[in-house]
Amino acid sequence: MGFKQFLKRRTLKARDDRRTKAAELTLRESLYPICLVTILFFLWGFSYGLLDTLNKHFQNTLGINKSRSSGLQAAYFGAYPLASLGHANWILRHFGYRATFIWGLCLYGIGALVAWPCILAKSFPGFCMAIFIIGNGLGSLETAANPYITVCGPPRYAEIRINISQAFNGIGTVVAPVLGSYVFFTFDDETALRNVQWVYLAIAIFVFILAFVFFLSVIPEITDADMAFQATETHANADDKPFWKQYRLFHAAFAQFCYTGAQIAIASYFINYIRDTQPTASDALASQLLAGAQGGFAAGRFFGVLLMKWVRPRWVFLWFLTMCIVFVAPSITQRGWTGMSMLYVTLFFESICFPTIVALGMRGLGRHTKRGSGWIVAGVMGGACVPPLTGVAADAHENTALAMVVPLCFFVAALSYAICVNFVPAYRDPADAFSTTEVGISGHHADEESGGEVAVLGDEKVVPAAEIEK
């Protein structure tokens, strides 16, 4: 293969108006791309877990209060809508998934490099700027990775696929606090800051290598035409409506905003909660307890996946989110190990909520899938809004436990979507239509790559794919 052919096979631009075999990928065909993209889930889980540990670390080393330290979460998650509704979504719609993966990894690496001089200068605002760049990179990755895992393979297993991939995100959130407990809290302040520098340098090197791996890899590009085909085959033709009338999508984005904000607030102030309710616990021990809680979070995803084999994902989602409310409420008034245990159980039940909102919210969007996924991922901005409110409440009352009333309120707001997707037919029917479809289970229809005619969006002269079998 010549150099020109090599570059041509790895072009980063994909036509969105042509249907390909990617519309009907089988489990075997989707295995390699899913494994490759799942690495990204671990990456941003690690980054998010590291952020929760750094929140308390900077309170100690830079002498800042709880509400100001939440600037890390505000910078990190505030970047998400800029990526998911802006630059990353534009790249996704005009070039494709692989280009967006590479773009996100490059931004992540640049942000990690920018963190180095900011830590040297002990500049908290500078480090927040570096985190903002990293947030743009991770927001780009989430904009592409969540919908890619959801649509890469048989639609009936979408919720199971994304929860398995997100389980590796949970593993990343476990590894980061464990690392932080040993390299941030067991050294003097100067040594600990140097350790932070080396961690971010290692991250930069790894993500640049991974970006090159994505450039070399040939993974299926799933187009708008592919998703329109899936919506037609399952009779979940929500994409017949204009984008601005996709009310289910916007409700899912609202639920994602509320849920993610509550999840991030609890994790961000978990160490503070332990220190306030259990004064004998050190920062290192509290960080290790956070890792244990995140371990429960990861385990909850695997448990949720098992349940989804026998119970519809929408019912599992409703049960898990309701349990989050049931168990976070006692943590407000309980103290010591009892209160901490309530948060442990809450994190366990948080596990499947985020990925299941993504999967259910994208059901039936068809040609609107790429654009719609950006709105659901933009809901992650809740992580920039709810933690500062929780921090203000904790500072005002000098009590982190009492501040847990803030995430409780946002959990209740997110529950509105779980109720609708189970009891309102306009929400429930498109979700159920994908649960029984044979797309990706039976053989492929004809497609352009094999020489058959398929539907091309906006071109009425081409025979629709649905008529090929007639």
Q: How far apart are CA 156 and CA 441, in angstroms?
A: 9
Residues 449-468 have a mean pLDDT of 39
Q: Contact, 220 vs 20, CB < 8 A?
A: yes
Greater confidence (60 vs 213) lies with: 213
Q: What is the DSSP string of 395-433?
A: HHHT-TTGGGHHHHHHHHHHHHHHHHHHH-HHHHHHHHH
| Residue 468 confidence (pLDDT) | 35
- Under the banding of pLDDT at 50, 70 and 90, the label for residue 106 is very high
- Under the banding of pLDDT at 50, 70 and 90, the label for residue 413 is very high
> Considering only CA atoms, which of 361, 372, 435, 459 is closest in space to residue 157?
435
Tens digits of residue pLDDT in 188-238: 667 777 777 888 888 899 999 999 999 988 888 877 777 777 666 665 555
| Residue 418 confidence (pLDDT) | 96
Greater confidence (243 vs 418) lies with: 418
Greater confidence (241 vs 308) lies with: 308
| Residue 272 confidence (pLDDT) | 85
| Residue 439 confidence (pLDDT) | 59
405 CB-near residues (< 8 Å, 6+ apart):
332, 393
| Residue 442 confidence (pLDDT) | 58
> Considering only CA atoms, which of 251, 345, 256, 352 is closest in space to residue 311?
352
| Residue 460 confidence (pLDDT) | 32
Most confident of 6-10, 261-265, 466-470: 261-265
Residues 408-430 have a mean pLDDT of 93
| Residue 435 confidence (pLDDT) | 67
| Residue 451 confidence (pLDDT) | 44
**Residue 322 pLDDT > 90, yes or no?**
yes
Residues in a beta bridge with 456: 18, 459
331 CB-near residues (< 8 Å, 6+ apart):
273, 339, 340, 342, 343, 346, 401, 404
Greater confidence (319 vs 186) lies with: 319
| Residue 178 confidence (pLDDT) | 76
**Residue 409 pLDDT > 90, yes or no?**
yes
The CB density around residue 190, as the number of other CB atoms within 10 Å, is 10
163 phi, psi to nearest 5 deg: -70, -35
**Residue 452 pLDDT > 60, yes or no?**
no
Q: What is the DSSP string of 9-60?
A: HT-S---TTB--GGGG--HHHHHHHHHHHHHHHHHHHHHHHHHHHHHHHHHH
Burial class (CB in 10 A: 0-12, 13-18, 19+), 310: exposed
Over its C-alpha atoms, the chain yields an Rg (Å, rounded) of 22
Tens digits of residue pLDDT in 328-367: 999 998 877 888 899 999 999 998 999 999 989 888 787 7
Q: How far apart are CA 24 and CA 448, in angstroms?
A: 13
246 CB-near residues (< 8 Å, 6+ apart):
238, 365, 368, 372
- Under the banding of pLDDT at 50, 70 and 90, the label for residue 325 is very high
Residues 275-283 have a mean pLDDT of 80
Q: Give the lowest-confidence range in 45-59, 115-129, 166-180.
A: 45-59
Q: Contact, 377 vs 315, CB < 8 A?
A: no
| Residue 110 confidence (pLDDT) | 95
Q: Contact, 25 vs 151, CB < 8 A?
A: no
Greater confidence (161 vs 452) lies with: 161
Q: How far apart are CA 372 and CA 187, in angstroms?
A: 46
Tens digits of residue pLDDT in 170-197: 788 778 777 777 766 566 667 777 777 8
Quick one: what percent of the chain has pLDDT higher than 70? 81
- Under the banding of pLDDT at 50, 70 and 90, the label for residue 152 is confident
